[in-house]
Chains A and B, each alone.
Chain A
Amino acid sequence: MLPIRNQARWDRGLRIALGATLLLVGFFGGLSGLAAVALRIFGWLPLLTGLAGWSPVYAFFGLSTMSRPRKR
């Protein structure tokens, strides 16, 4: 069963943009060594979680950036 999404659109967009930027710099920014690896990892994490729309850390702490349904 797929986990229920816990990220809002803006959250996902932000993660994908940030992840993609970090990955681009990590792969093609001319960096090398541990710094390049760290940059790429910190790029993969937001990118993958943003694409999935689900964050394990949010899930653990019971957080969500999804808007709650309005109570009538």
Chain B
Amino acid sequence: MLKRLRWFALGGLLLFMIGVEAARIVLRPYTGSVAGNLVMDLAVLFGMMILFGFFFEQLGQLYRRVERQNRELEALRIASVAVYGELALDAVLQRVVEQARSLLGAHYGAISVLDAGQRILAFVTSGISPEERERIGRPPEGRGVLGVPLLEGQRIRLANLGAHPRSVGFPPNHPPMSSLLAVPITCRGPFRGNLYLAESRSSEGFTEEDETALVRFAEAAAVAIEIAHLHERLRSLAVAEERLHLAHEMHDGMAQILAYVNTKALAVDEYLKQGKTAEAKTQIGQLSVAAREVYADVREGILGLRVGIGEPGTFAETLRRYVDHWRDQNEIEATVEIDPEITLAPPVELQVVRIVQEALANVRKHSRAHRVRISIESADGLVRVTVADDGVGFDPSALGRSAFPRFGLSTMRERAQSVGGILRVDTTPGEGSQVVAELPIVAGSSSEGGIP
């Protein structure tokens, strides 16, 4: 269109000037009088009106097109922000369909996504109330016209939906719809879907431009579905990794405790053989303490697994729930402060919860603390997890890896490093202790060296 305007600016003006000159020559016998000149002026003004009318009409069309593209870009930008910023698939799809419906001026809009087994994975609507949707019943499965984009991957644009050969009518309580614009959502994963709008507000119905715009929204929806799929896979991998970690911890911890119990049992046996009942009793007492420790460990471990990632609710709720249970079990005052703005990647969330659990287990076992404070805050793109108690503290340099009881520091450190973070313990005998873990908000890899 710009090219046409450019040619028009050159050629149109030239033609106009030739026209004026021709009119002047034709009207020359009459241009000596005022009336003749007026006729001449009227002719020129009329010509100018046509010329500029056409010019401004073209300019107006161009302006409207640019304006529409701007609105389209803005709507796509809003949808994209949701795609990359929101993790819940339904919420993202809702944003995409609402933006598309608003931009393209439709009464109704919907997105449906099917999994590999043709089961409906997600179905969101716009322009229809939840009550109306409830009354309509099951979401469409692509048996009628919607099967064209959903199952065959073809775009469809209809002025009269009912006239299409694949039309099978509407279920009871469905609002009447005639115009339809539907495009497929093509994903790389094992999913497929469609995005459709119905009942255009415009008298000319859905246009080719609308179709092109809707395809862009379908692409945004496809990215959202792929991200949700990857997020789900990441979560499964995090769970698998955690299982491995637990197996490793149980193997190490239980082996050490059993070795300790075995040594004590042998010592008891030896003392009894020698008739040293008093010494045997001392050993049995130590065995009893070890058994209670193990029992408390197992209870805490079970609690930690029960109140774990993957339960309904947010990460902060999960942690608060765990600390509440822990406080009830141990009668140590515990407070939790979590920055509400923090959003962590699932592997980091998991490690934060496990580090806090391990640190609290240490507080229970060794600190003799009355109060413990847990804080989770963001600092320079990192999440800082602090578990501070007012207990007896200890000398970290005096602890060997094989010392019993173990403080689980190496386990916590390994957990921090597994997501690219670091862990340190600040403690002085008699002045309490503080475990501080600094982890990246998005999980990294320990092989990348972690945080400097």
Contacts and interface: CB of A to CB of B under 8 A. Distances in A.
B47 to A, nearest CB: 10
Contact of A34 (B21, B37, B60): B21
B59 A34 contact: no
B41 A37 contact: yes
A37 B24 contact: yes
Interface of A: 26-27, 32-34, 36-37, 40-41, 44-45, 56, 60
B148 interface: no
A33 B24 contact: yes
Chain B, interface size: which category? 10 to 19
Given A27-B34, A27-B37, A37 B59 contact: no
Contacts of A41: 41, 44-45, 48
A60 B55 CA distance: 11
A41 B37 CA distance: 11
B387 interface: no
A56 B52 CA distance: 10
Contacts of B20: 34, 37
A21 B31 CA distance: 20
Contacts of B44: 37, 41
Contact of B24 (A27, A34, A45): A34
Contacts of B41: 37, 40-41, 44
Given A27-B37, A60-B59, A44 B45 contact: yes
Contacts of B52: 56
Contacts of B60: 60
A32 B37 CA distance: 10
Main secondary structure of the interface of A (DSSP, over half): helix
B352 interface: no
Nearest to B42: A44
Interface of B is mostly: helix
B170 interface: no
A18 to B, nearest CB: 16
A40 B37 contact: yes
Interface string B22-52: 0010000001001001001100110010001
Interface in B44-73: 44-45, 48, 52, 56, 59-60
A58 to B, nearest CB: 12
Given A34-B24, A60-B59, A60-B60, 14 more contacts: A32-B31, A33-B24, A34-B21, A37-B24, A37-B40, A37-B41, A40-B37, A41-B41, A41-B44, A41-B45, A41-B48, A44-B41, A56-B52, A60-B56
16 contacts: A27-B34, A27-B37, A32-B31, A33-B24, A34-B20, A36-B37, A37-B20, A37-B24, A37-B40, A37-B41, A40-B41, A41-B44, A41-B48, A44-B45, A45-B45, A60-B56
A27 to B, nearest CB: 6
A34 B34 CA distance: 15
Contacts of A26: 37
State the 6 A-B residue pairs at the shortest beta-carbon distance, nearest first: A40-B41, A41-B44, A60-B56, A44-B41, A44-B45, A37-B24
A20 B31 CA distance: 19
Contacts of A36: 37
Nearest to B49: A56
Nearest to A59: B56
B123 to A, nearest CB: 43
A39 to B, nearest CB: 10
B56 A56 contact: yes
Contacts of B59: 60
B385 to A, nearest CB: 51
A11 to B, nearest CB: 20
Contacts of B48: 41
B58 to A, nearest CB: 11
Contacts of A45: 45
Nearest to B27: A37
Contacts of B24: 33-34, 37
Interface in B175-207: none
A1 B24 CA distance: 35
A36 B32 CA distance: 11
A45 B60 CA distance: 21
A27 B32 CA distance: 10
